[in-house]
């Protein structure tokens, strides 16, 4: 295989809290008039597998290509199984449910679900935008369960004002919600296990409330941790956990950055545009909103035509 940087067809997800911001901000070809809350940019889940959209591998899934060329793509000839990341762009025009994702131990204890640690990079934020990130200090399981019954779960959560450029880390077991008016890049473990505990008493288009998972959520939340201990970063190494590492990059107009072989990289372009040159294929143009997977064997250069901000994710 002559490995080269890969682009993918986005997988759009309609959500009750979504909108059209992905079209307005990144020129995504989302269905007009629909509430699109998520664009899955790089996915390898059983029912949602990213399909390559450039070069000789066009039309093949990420899973099938890694299965054929594990060393060339990942750098590990013994690599097997699903791709270990899920990256998304989120458009939160309304508030998301209060929810939690389980950690590996909770999944084993309950005998179901997939663990999910994640982070949110704030791309755009309306004035006064907030997230709910972890519990207030001292909140117990009993107090939280009582709040669910009374409908005042938000009073138990740490309400955090956010700004563009921040990265918020949310380890599995953290109760959380995204407030309205936010455009976010989400990097996470490859899991779609979500336990909703409160949905702000809203209903869907059919007039029905969405399903809640109160028992599972109470089992999954880490009540011995509070939002006070959760990190927020803005420059350099944004996240360094056992599942992934994220670095923030910024290059000015007409700059060039060498692309070295040896490590697979996922690039999430936040702003600007440019071209990847000499990496085993024709020049590959990229722009804001693109996610690229650079195989481990690729060498070349990234030419930043415009002032560009980007995230580099490694595992």
CATH code, domain with 281: 2.60.120.10
Residue 78, pLDDT score: 94
The answer to whether residues 210 and 255 belong to one domain is: no
Radius of gyration of the chain, Cα coordinates, nearest whole angstrom:
20
Q: Among 204, 237, 270, identify where a domain stops.
A: 237
> Any idea which residue has 């709910």 for tokens?
132
The answer to whether residues 175 and 270 belong to one domain is: no
Residue 279, pLDDT score: 64
Residue 310, pLDDT score: 98
Residue 280, pLDDT score: 66
Q: Is 108 a catalytic residue?
A: no
Taking 50 as the pLDDT cut, the residues of the chain under it are none
Report the chain's terminal Cα–Cα distance, integer Å. Answer: 22
How many Cβ atoms are within 10 Å of 56's Cβ, its own excluded?
11
The answer to whether residues 193 and 87 belong to one domain is: yes
The answer to whether residues 231 and 255 belong to one domain is: no
Residue 206, pLDDT score: 82
The answer to whether residues 267 and 213 belong to one domain is: no
Q: Report yes or no on 24 lying in a domain.
A: yes
Q: Report yes or no on 4 lying in a domain.
A: no
The answer to whether residues 200 and 265 belong to one domain is: no
The answer to whether residues 25 and 142 belong to one domain is: yes
How many Cβ atoms are within 10 Å of 104's Cβ, its own excluded?
14
The answer to whether residues 252 and 233 belong to one domain is: no
Q: What is the pTM of this model?
A: 0.95
Q: Which of 196, 237, 245, 303 is catalytic?
A: 196
Q: Are 189 and 103 in contact (CB under 8 A)?
A: no
Q: Report yes or no on 148 lying in a domain.
A: yes
Tokens representing residue 127 in the block: 């004035």
If one counts the domains in the chain, the total is: 2
Residues in the chain: 315
Which domain range does residue 51 map to?
11-237
Q: Are 136 and 158 in contact (CB under 8 A)?
A: yes
């Amino acid at each position: 295989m002559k490995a080269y940087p890969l682009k993918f067809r986005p997988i759009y997800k309609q959500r009750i809290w979504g909108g059209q911001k992905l079209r307005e901000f990144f020129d995504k070809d989302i269905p007009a008039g629909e509430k699109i809350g998520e664009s899955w940019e790089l996915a390898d889940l059983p029912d949602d597998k990213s399909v390559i959209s450039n070069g000789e591998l066009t039309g093949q899934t990420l899973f099938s290509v890694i299965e054929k060329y594990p060393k060339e793509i990942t750098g590990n000839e013994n690599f097997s199984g699903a791709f270990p990341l899920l990256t998304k762009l989120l458009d939160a025009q309304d508030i998301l449910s209060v929810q939690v994702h389980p950690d590996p131990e909770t999944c084993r204890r309950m005998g179901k679900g997939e663990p999910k640690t994640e982070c949110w990079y704030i791309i755009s934020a309306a004035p006064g935008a907030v997230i709910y990130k972890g519990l207030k200090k001292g909140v117990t399981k009993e107090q939280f369960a009582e709040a669910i019954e009374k409908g005042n779960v938000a009073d138990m959560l740490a309400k955090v004002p956010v700004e563009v450029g921040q990265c918020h880390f949310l380890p599995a077991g953290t109760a959380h919600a995204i407030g309205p008016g936010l455009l976010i890049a989400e990097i996470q473990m490859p899991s779609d296990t979500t336990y909703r505990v409160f949905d702000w008493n809203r209903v869907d288009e059919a007039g029905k409330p969405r399903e809640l998972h109160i028992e599972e959520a109470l089992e999954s939340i880490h009540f011995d941790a509070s939002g006070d201990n959760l990190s927020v970063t803005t420059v350099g190494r944004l996240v360094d956990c056992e599942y992934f590492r994220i670095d923030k990059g910024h290059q000015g107009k007409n700059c060039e950055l060498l692309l070295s072989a040896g490590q697979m990289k996922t690039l999430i372009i936040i702003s600007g545009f440019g071209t990847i040159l000499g990496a085993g294929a024709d020049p590959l143009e990229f722009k804001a909103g693109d996610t690229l997977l650079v195989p481990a064997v690729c060498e070349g250069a990234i030419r930043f035509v415009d002032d560009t901000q980007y995230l580099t994710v490694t595992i």
